[in-house]
Amino acid sequence: MTARRDAHWQAERTPLFRPMSEFDPSEPALVHDRRQDRVLPWSPSFQRSYERTARELAPGVVDYDGLLLDGWMIPEDERQH
């Protein structure tokens, strides 16, 4: 990813997402994949795999199953409960 694109991502997306240090893989979420610049649904069924194989590559960036996760948020339908 280019520095310009990376800086753009940081400026545009960071306020929307919570840091991965606060991520609870046992809860439904939307996660941001920096590698493809896309948001994906997270299922608690991934928790065991995440706990076994995820590793932090840099502060706030987690390598998991080919994804570079760098933020997460509560799904819109979960916020309304």
Q: DSSP string covering 5-67, please?
A: HHHHHHHHHGGGSB-GGG--TTS-EEEEETTTTEEEEE-GGGHHHHHHH-EEEETTEEEETTE
Q: What is the pTM of this model?
A: 0.77
Query: Given a cut of 50, is residue 1 above it in pLDDT?
Result: no
As for how many domains the chain has, the answer is: 1
Average pLDDT over residues 42-52: 98
Structural domain containing residue 54: 3-79
High-pLDDT (> 90) share of the chain, %? 73
**Over the stretch 6-43, which tens digit does the pLDDT of each residue have?**
444 444 445 689 999 999 999 999 999 999 999 999 99
